[in-house]
């Protein structure tokens, strides 16, 4: 189906989904529609961040169930400077708390995989125009409601640490160097150092030994960091 948006500037899209057939279908649909270019694709979230940095896409279409580290952690890393990649989460079914979490992480849209093709085009046009997209329609005022809603228990982290920071803490306690942490989490060494600096600030420690002692005494890792592979 051809979009009615004839004046659309070229939009470069990165696709992240574990299913090769679905990725191929998305690629074909987007490349058939004027104004879209598929910059790349990946089957796992572990490659999303590095690919996004390399390819600098305008929009990321990412399955919320794509294998790898947390989808929303990847969204957080890519939604702000210097990346500013607009992410649309793809899911089989949209739940209210899922929408809240996605927008809090920095996503610009969320839609079901069963949506008609024309809605996919509209959702991308919406986020490119600075708007948000939920399900079948554009969203403006509702976003502020979501962002002001209290966080669910599953989002509350010890000492304000993000799930990615908890992974870094786990790696540091495990004796990994910054380079090893970067390699295992598919991030740059500078990003690893940035996470470590943020962790030090939040916990009030100044070195790795103090971090390890603090982590042990406050039982931080018992609260559920995703394992570092």
Q: pLDDT tens digits for 55-66?
A: 999 999 998 765
Task: Judge whether residue 37 has pLDDT over 60.
Answer: yes
Mean pLDDT of 80-109: 78
* pLDDT band at 153; cut points 50, 70, 90: very low
Determine the pLDDT at residue 5: 52
Q: How far apart are CA 34 and CA 157, in angstroms?
A: 44
* pLDDT band at 156; cut points 50, 70, 90: low
Determine the pLDDT at residue 66: 55
Task: Judge whether residue 201 has pLDDT over 70.
Answer: yes
CATH number listed for the domain at residues 157-222 = 1.10.10.10
Determine the pLDDT at residue 221: 79
Task: Judge whether residue 170 has pLDDT over 80.
Answer: yes
171 token code pair: 């790696």
Task: Judge whether residue 144 has pLDDT over 70.
Answer: no
Q: State the CATH architecture for 11-148.
A: 3-Layer(aba) Sandwich (3.40)
214: how many CB neighbours lie within 10 A of its CB? 17
Determine the pLDDT at residue 6: 52
Q: Which helix (H) or strand (E) holds 63?
A: strand 59-63
Task: Judge whether residue 21 has pLDDT over 90.
Answer: yes
Kindly list the domain boundaries of the chain, sorted by start residue: 11-148, 157-222
Determine the pLDDT at residue 70: 64
Q: State how far Cα 164 lies from the chain centre.
A: 11
Backbone angles phi, psi at 49, to 5 degrees: -65, -50
* pLDDT band at 94; cut points 50, 70, 90: confident
Which of 73, 26, 24, 84 has its CA nearest to residue 46?
73
Of the listed ranges 32-36, 62-66, 85-89, 124-128, the least confidently predicted one is 62-66
* pLDDT band at 142; cut points 50, 70, 90: low
Do residues 85 and 59 touch, judged by C-beta distance below 8 A? yes
Determine the pLDDT at residue 3: 44
Which of 13, 74, 12 has its CA nearest to residue 44?
74
* pLDDT band at 24; cut points 50, 70, 90: very high
């Amino acid at each position: 189906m051809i979009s009615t948006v004839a004046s659309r500037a070229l939009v470069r899209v990165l696709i992240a989904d574990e299913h090769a057939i679905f990725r191929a279908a998305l690629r074909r649909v987007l490349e058939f529609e004027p104004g879209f270019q598929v910059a790349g694709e990946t089957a796992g979230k572990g490659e999303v961040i590095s690919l996004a940095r390399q390819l600098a896409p305008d929009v990321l279409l990412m399955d919320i169930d794509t294998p790898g580290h947390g989808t929303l952690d990847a969204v957080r890393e890519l939604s702000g400077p210097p990346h500013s990649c607009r992410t649309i989460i793809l899911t089989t079914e949209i739940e209210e708390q899922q929408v809240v979490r996605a927008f809090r992480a920095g996503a610009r849209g969320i839609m079901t995989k069963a949506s008609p093709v024309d809605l996919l085009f509209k959702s991308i046009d919406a986020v490119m125009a600075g708007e948000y997209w939920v399900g079948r329609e554009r969203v403006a005022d509702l976003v502020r409601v979501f962002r002001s809603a209290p966080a669910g228990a599953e989002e509350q982290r010890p000492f304000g640490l993000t799930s990615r920071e908890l992974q870094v803490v786990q790696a540091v306690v495990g004796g990994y160097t910054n380079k090893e942490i970067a390699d295992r989490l598919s991030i740059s060494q500078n990003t690893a150092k940035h996470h470590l600096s943020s962790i030090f600030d939040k916990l009030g420690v100044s070195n790795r030994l103090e971090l390890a002692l603090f982590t042990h005494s406050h039982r931080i890792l018992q609260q559920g960091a995703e394992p570092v592979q």
